[in-house]
């Protein structure tokens, strides 16, 4: 909701004006109050995502208008949130954006919900480089003043669980940990340990969850398998919610959420709206009424689905209309598109299917050669190569590094032919090639103004025969740098996943290039 007092500023009655302003302040203050909590844990693999999804379902069933957020750069956990709520989940990351911007990205959605659940990342205090607070779940909770529910995997633990919890409470300088949920614990032991925790540590125990041997989320690499790959995912999530409901004190969860402090202020909101994000829609092209809104074709299907919600919304704010298409199932690009956005995903799992869709491969290559502005990240970058070395599934014997190294990777039988807009191909390395946060600077200004950077994240087991050398990537924790990204004229191609709110000029540039491309089409006739 946007509050505009411009009309009331012309009121001559001072008393009326004062009353209006008072009402506004009251509404504004209430509006900045959103009930919320964060689900965090001492370490990865503690059950955060399943429990978060179950809580989202229970809150939804109770009539709450719930929004969800994921701490950090992860794409897959928000997909599980969306499976429950039916609306996109957003990422919040205190490395990607400064504290004020992070708060406002959070508050930006407050008109759409009255209850927020944030899911943490890794261990509660694990931030940048594993040793800094920035980028950690705790930093996000501190910045957004969000109460924390600590999910502790108590399997195989006795009273030692108290020592673990005590350590986390001692490290909690802001006193944000308001409750503890004991995962993988039996009812019998829970009845014994709960009173001890509450008496000795003065923290509420909100419930427990017995070990679930018949339900659970499988993993791939360092993350979860995508929800659409699980045929019974809705059934699993509903079953988890039903079971959790019986072992937790839901009223206590709600009490903790409702006790959360107010967050932010109007001054921060003004800074966010006018400076941090920028007025993308004020560029010269979008202000020209003679030029229609540009269309950006966004690849979205089983193979390409890794997008930050705020990236997509920023493109729309800059004047773009997003037209979603499937490289897997469609035969051509959307009509009259002016740019392409090929996001990340797992194209390697669908390489054969992608290679068989020759019509789409040709359409994308033709558009690329014609100069259509193109941003391709990770999986989308792989898709533009001549080929990808096939991978069947995570358990396939051929995917083991020792077998891969012996394979003749030049054998066309082991390759799927793809777009071919870029020379060379991509090969499975059997280990992480790049992982973690980076800052990117262009060697020659193209999508970014001179001497500016954009923040990003890398995570890939494949490598390209040509990763590009038009940008310098710097690891913020160590200062180590390396070359990457192919960036010339109308395209930006590489493995890094960009976060546009960290530098809105990137989104502005893509939309500007799309307007310029549209202008050339209108002037010279259809380019494609």
Residue pLDDT, tens place only, 140-168: 999 999 999 999 999 999 999 999 999 99
Tens of pLDDT along 454-494? Answer: 999 999 889 999 999 999 999 999 999 999 999 999 999 99
Nearest to 334 by CA among 344, 345, 321, 347: 321
Q: What is the pLDDT of residue 183?
A: 96
The pLDDT of residue 64 is 93
pLDDT computed for residue 280 by the predictor: 55
pLDDT value for 417: 94
Using the predicted structure, report yes or no on whether residue 199 has a pLDDT greater than 90: yes
pLDDT at 217: 53
- Candidates 53, 280, 318, 378; catalytic one: 378
Strand, helix or coil for residue 437: strand
Above 90 in pLDDT, residue 23?
Answer: no
Based on the domain organization, do 247 and 287 belong to the same domain?
A: no
Rg from Cα positions in the chain: 25
Do both 249 and 290 map to the same domain? Answer: no
Binning the chain into helix, strand and coil, the percentages to the nearest 5 are: 40, 25, 40
Q: Which SS3 state, helix, strand or coil, does residue 170 take?
A: helix
Domain limits at 160?
Answer: 29-258
pLDDT digits (tens, 9 = 90+) for 241-261: 999 999 999 999 999 999 999
CATH code where residue 147 lies: 3.40.50.300
Which class for 450: exposed (0-12), middle (13-18), buried (19 or more C-beta within 10 A)?
exposed
Whether residue 319 is found in the same domain as residue 392 = yes
Give every CB contact of residue 360 below 8 A, 6+ residues apart in sequence: 327, 330, 331, 332, 333
- Give the residue-averaged pLDDT of 220-230: 54
For 149, residues 6+ apart whose C-beta sits below 8 A from its C-beta are 37, 38, 39, 40, 178, 179, 180, 181, 206, 253, 256
Flag whether 166 is in a domain: yes
Q: Are 294 and 337 in contact (CB under 8 A)?
A: no
Q: How far apart are CA 315 and CA 312, in angstroms?
A: 5
Residue 36 has what pLDDT? 96
pLDDT above 70 (res 10): no
Look at residue 262 in the predicted model and tell me its pLDDT.
86
Residues 291 and 417 in one domain: yes
What mean pLDDT do residues 107-134 have? 88
- How far is residue 184 CA from its own chain's centroid? 28
Asked whether residue 271 carries a pLDDT value surpassing 80, the answer given is no
Residue 516 within a domain: yes
189 and 325 belong to one structural domain: no
CATH of residue 364's domain is 3.40.50.880
Distance CA 402, CA 146 (A): 46
The Cα-based distances of 240 to 43, 66, 233, 366 in angstroms read 21, 18, 10, 48
Residue 264 domain flag: no
In angstroms, rounded to a whole number, what is the distance separating the alpha carbons of residues 236 and 227?
A: 11
Instruction: Give the per-residue pLDDT at 528.
Output: 53
241 in the same domain as 309:
no
- The string of DSSP codes covering 466-484 is ---SSEEEE-TTT--EEEE
Report the distance separating Cα 354 and Cα 299, nearest Å. 12
Residue 272 maps to a domain: no
Q: Are residues 127 and 165 in the same domain?
A: yes
- Domain membership of residue 9 (yes or no) is no
Residue 249 shares a structural domain with residue 390: no
**Pair (289, 412) in one structural domain:** yes
Model confidence band, residue 293 (pLDDT cutoffs 50, 70, 90): confident
Domain boundary among 192, 227, 258: 258
Do 430 and 404 touch, CB atoms closer than 8 A? yes
Tally of domains within the chain: 2
More confident residue, 239 or 403: 239
Q: What mean pLDDT is predicted for residues 254-269?
A: 75
Instruction: Provide the token pair at 29.
Output: 């203050």
Q: Is the domain of 204 the same as that of 313? A: no
For this structure, is 378 an active site residue?
yes
Strand order in the sheet with 66-71: 90-92, 66-71, 115-119, 35-40, 148-153, 177-183, 204-209
Q: Is 425 a member of any domain?
A: yes
CA distances to 45, 154, 158, 166 from 163, in Å? 20, 12, 10, 5
**Among all chains, which residue has been given the structure tokens 């004229």?**
489
Query: Over the chain, what is the mean pLDDT?
Result: 85
The pLDDT of residue 1 is above 90: no
Per-residue pLDDT, 408: 42
Asked if residue 6 is part of any domain, the answer here is no
Residue 16 lies in a domain: no
Q: What does the pLDDT read at residue 233? A: 75
Q: Collect all residues with Cβ–Cβ distance below 8 Å to 86 and sequence separation of at least 6.
A: none
The pair of structure tokens assigned to 359 is: 């019509």
Give residue 405's pLDDT: 44
Fill in the DSSP letter of residue 248.
Answer: B
Query: Among 286, 307, 297, 285, which Cα is nearest to 327's?
Result: 297
9-to-17, 20, 174, 321 alpha-carbon distances in Å: 7, 10, 41, 35
The residue-averaged pLDDT of 64-68 equals 94
Domain shared by 62 and 181, yes or no:
yes
Per mean pLDDT, which range of 2-16, 73-87, 99-113, 200-214 is the poorest? 2-16
Query: Which of 212, 227, 258 marks a domain boundary?
Result: 258
Q: What's the rounded Cα separation, in Å, for the pair 153 and 156?
A: 9
* 378 and 418 together in one domain: yes
Give kind and range of the element (H or E) at residue 431. Answer: none
Single out the residue in 258, 293, 324 at which a domain terminates. Answer: 258
Cα separations (Å) of 195 from 250, 324, 510?
A: 18, 53, 58
In the predicted structure, residue 17 carries a pLDDT above the cut 50: no
> What pTM was computed for the model?
0.84
What the block records as the tokens of 307 is 């997008």
């Amino acid at each position: 909701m946007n509050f505009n007092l411009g009309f009331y500023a012309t009121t001559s009655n001072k008393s009326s004006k004062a009353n209006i302003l008072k009402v506004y302040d009251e509404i504004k203050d209430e509006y900045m109050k959103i009930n919320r909590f964060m689900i965090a844990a001492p370490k990865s693999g503690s059950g955060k995502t399943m429990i978060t999804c179950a809580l989202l379902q229970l809150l939804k069933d109770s009539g709450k208008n719930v929004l969800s957020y994921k701490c950090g750069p992860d794409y897959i956990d928000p997909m599980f949130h969306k499976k429950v709520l039916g609306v996109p989940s957003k990422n919040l990351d205190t490395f990607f954006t400064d504290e004020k911007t992070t708060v406002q990205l959070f508050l930006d959605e407050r008109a759409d919900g009255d209850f927020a659940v944030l899911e943490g990342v890794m261990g509660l205090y694990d931030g940048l480089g594993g040793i800094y607070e920035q980028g950690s779940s705790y930093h996000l909770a501190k910045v957004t003043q969000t109460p924390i529910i600590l999910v502790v995997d108590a399997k195989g633990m006795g009273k030692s669980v108290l020592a673990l919890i005590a350590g986390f409470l001692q490290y909690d300088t802001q006193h944000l940990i308001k409750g503890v949920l004991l995962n993988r614990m039996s009812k019998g032991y829970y009845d014994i340990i709960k009173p001890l925790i509450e008496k000795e540590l003065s923290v509420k125990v909100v419930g427990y969850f017995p070990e679930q041997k018949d339900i659970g989320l499988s993993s791939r690499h360092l993350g979860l398998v995508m929800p659409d790959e699980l045929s019974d995912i809705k059934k699993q999530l509903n079953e988890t919610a039903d079971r959790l409901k019986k072992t937790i004190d839901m009223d206590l969860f709600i009490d903790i959420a409702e006790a959360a402090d107010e967050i932010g202020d109007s001054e921060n909101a003004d800074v966010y709206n006018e400076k941090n994000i920028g007025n993308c829609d004020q560029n010269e092209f979008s202000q020209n009424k003679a030029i229609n809104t540009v269309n950006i074709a966004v690849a979205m299907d089983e193979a390409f689905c890794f997008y930050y919600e705020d990236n997509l919304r920023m493109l729309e704010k800059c004047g773009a209309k997003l037209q979603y298409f499937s490289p897997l199932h469609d035969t051509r690009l959307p009509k009259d598109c002016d740019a392409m956005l090929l996001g990340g995903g797992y194209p390697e799992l669908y390489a054969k299917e992608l290679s068989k869709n020759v019509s789409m491969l040709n359409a994308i290559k033709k558009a690329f050669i014609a100069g259509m502005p193109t941003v391709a990240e990770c999986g989308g970058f792989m898709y533009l190569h001549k080929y990808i070395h096939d991978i069947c599934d995570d358990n396939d014997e051929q995917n083991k590094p020792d077998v891969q190294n012996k394979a003749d990777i030049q054998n066309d039988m082991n390759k799927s032919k793809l777009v071919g807009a870029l020379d060379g191909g991509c090969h499975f390395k059997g280990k992480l090639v790049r992982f973690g946060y980076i800052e990117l600077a262009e060697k020659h200004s193209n999508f970014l103004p001179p001497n500016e950077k954009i923040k990003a994240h890398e995570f890939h087991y494949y490598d390209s025969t040509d990763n590009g050398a038009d940008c310098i990537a710097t690891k913020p924790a160590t200062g180590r740098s390396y070359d990457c990204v192919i960036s010339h004229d109308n395209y930006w191609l590489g493995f890094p996943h960009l976060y546009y709110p960290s530098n809105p000029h990137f989104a502005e540039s893509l939309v500007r290039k799309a307007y310029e491309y549209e202008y050339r089409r209108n002037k010279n006739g259809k380019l494609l």
